Amino acid sequence: MIPKLARGKLVIATHNRGKLKEIQKLLEPWGMDCLAAGDLGLPEPEETGTTFVENALLKARAAAEAAQLPALADDSGLCVVALNGAPGVYTADWAEAAPFEGGPGRDWYMAMGKVEGKLAELGPATSRDCWFSCVLALAWPNGDSAVYEGRAMGSLTWPPRGTMGFGYDPVFVPVGDSRTFAELDPAQKHAISHRADAFAKLVAEQFAA
Residues taking part in catalysis: 75
CA 93 to chain centre: 14
CA 81 to chain centre: 18
Cis amide leading into 186 (omega within 30): no
Contact of 56 with 137, CB cutoff 8 Å: yes
Contact of 106 with 96, CB cutoff 8 Å: yes
Contact of 70 with 139, CB cutoff 8 Å: yes
CA distance 99 to 88: 22
CA 102 to chain centre: 22
| Strand 103-106 relative to strand 96-100, pairing | antiparallel
